Amino acid sequence: MRLILVEKTTYSTVKESVYQILRGHGVNKVFGNPGSNELNFLKDFPEDFDYILCLHEGVAIGMAEGYAQATGLPGFVNLHAAAGTGNAMGALTNSVNSHAPLVVTAGQQARTMVYSDPLLKNSSAVMLPMPLVKDSYEPLSAQEVPHAISRALHLAMSPAKGPVYVSIPYDDWDQPIAHDALHLATRKVVHFGAPSLDELQPLLAALAKAANPVLVLGPEVDALRCNSKAALLADKLHAPVWIAPSAPRCPFPTNHHCFAGILPAGEASLAQKLHGHDLILVLGGPVFRYHQNDPGALLPENSQLFLVTGDAQEAARSPVGDAVVANVDAVLSCLIERMTERTGDCPNFRKPIQRVEVDHSQLESSAIFDIVDAIAPCNTVYLNEATSTIATLWERVGMEEPGSYYFAAAGGLGFAMPAALGVKLADPMRPVVAFIGDGSAHYSISSLWTAARYQIPVVFIIINNSGYGALKWFSQQFKIQNVPGIEIDGVDFIQLSEGYGIAAHRVSTRAEFSQVFDNAIVGNMPVLIEATIERV
């Protein structure tokens, strides 16, 4: 008689099964702010997992998004019922627009008592986070919970990536699993998106025929880490490269001679920047995400547009041009291989700028970015939520490597501070600097507590102009005067920071900022710098 050895499963409950599924996806961090409905999931927390406590649900989403974008792995979030979900939804507007792969879980009241409509029952759990998630689900039984989590992880990672929501009754976690759940931890879903040569022929023919092509790059290029391929294509075509408007990532090295800048977020002004180009190739971004009301033609006269994106929805809603739905990295590889390099010298499309001197004069935003660019290592990661300084940052800060820049994809404030912590957790070897406006800092100021609690060495730079500078700019554009609520006075960021346990410095001159930042960027602890500049 032969002896057959059967591997004994080490997990038998719903909770143990879910943690094993998470391990199979490379997930070992839980970002959250717990309540009573979540305690059963968190009890006897596994030693190989880290629980990152955030003092507000928006911070938990922001940290998880930064971590997910920087690693490419799913970010796992645990929220408290309907109230916690509601608090997180402002942050989810950014996550769904940035295509951040998140699995957002929330505790539901116990199945054994939901009939009585108890306190903390999430009455419309599936509907609550819509339409800010790819899918929303509440399992119909405890045995379905592992399957729901598995589906959520795979769906979050499928093109186009995005957040998925699962509501879980808290008495499900200790229930036994069904036998079929044992297979979930080792399941793999692989996505291929390489088009055939025939499918790319119209684009290849248009590029070969174009007299003056231009490239417009979106965040998918950086998410797929194919920035260098975009640079090779630009060199072959001798084409300028613009960044798509309202850019949440940096898909092209800003010190490259083909870099032309970031496009404005208005119809007429954008078309003017692209004037004279007969072919516009948009890679990995929307066509186009406008912001200010600037009516005009969508494209310059006599120009043709092609969009290449992995997001079928972006392709469908594009108001102009032809679209190819495919993996942007694969398309770039094909274009580089098939395109013949243009003859002649490639022009330098970068605009020269005059750098400021480090002296004892009053600090301004251009000086902040020049000093940071001069001191910070070339692999530094930047996050920006000083919205009135976006154009200045893109003009003056060099960003060479993939994953060097993150911005709130939907424009929702409260993103940069927690996302900076998530990015640093994802890539501890790269310095991380977050530029924050004095107005936007209050949306996620409790991020400082989490930074201190886990000693995450991020440099937070509060650019303090005593108000909402972006709103002041819009007021000027709209010719609106005497607008209330855009001035902010009397806030002491030094005391706030020190109260949360973070060392802080206030500076007002170029020389002061240079010295403090030089010390902060080489340190191994979180630091806040309040850089006071003149009011806008």
List the alpha helices (DSSP H) in 412-454.
416-426, 447-453
Name the active-site residue from 291, 296, 341, 361. 291
Q: Burial letters for 64-88: b for 16+ Cβ neighbours within 10 Å, e otherwise?
A: bbbbbbbbebbbbbbbbbbebbebb
**What six digits make up the tokens of 473?**
């700019």
Name the active-site residue from 25, 80, 147, 256. 80
Cα–Cα–Cα angle for 288, 290, 292, rounded to 5 degrees = 160
Name the active-site residue from 35, 86, 261, 321. 35
**Beta strands 432-437 and 405-407: pairing type?**
unpaired
Name the active-site residue from 12, 36, 123, 361. 36
Instruction: Clarify whether 35 is annotated catalytic.
Output: yes
Instruction: Clarify whether 301 is annotated catalytic.
Output: no
Q: Helix, strand or coil for residue 307?
A: strand
Name the active-site residue from 16, 32, 56, 57. 57
Which stretches of 192-232 are assigned E, i.e. beta strand? Answer: 213-217
Name the active-site residue from 62, 66, 411, 439. 411
Contact 300, 277 (CB under 8 A): yes
Name the active-site residue from 16, 38, 267, 530. 38
d(CA 303, CA 220): 24
d(CA 533, CA 437): 11
Instruction: Clarify whether 38 is annotated catalytic.
Output: yes
CB atoms within 10 A of CB 512: 17
Cα–Cα–Cα angle for 425, 421, 472, rounded to 5 degrees = 155
DSSP 34-69: --GGGHHHHTT--TTSEEEE-SSHHHHHHHHHHHHH
Instruction: Clarify whether 395 is annotated catalytic.
Output: no
Tell me the CA distances in angstroms from 123 to 82, 115, 126, 130, 203, one per residue in order.
8, 11, 9, 14, 50
Cα–Cα–Cα angle for 257, 259, 263, rounded to 5 degrees = 160
Which stretches of 470-518 are assigned E, i.e. beta strand? Answer: 503-507
Instruction: Clarify whether 57 is annotated catalytic.
Output: yes
**What six digits make up the tokens of 31?**
């970002």
Task: Enumerate the active-site residues.
Answer: 35-36, 38, 57, 80, 291, 411
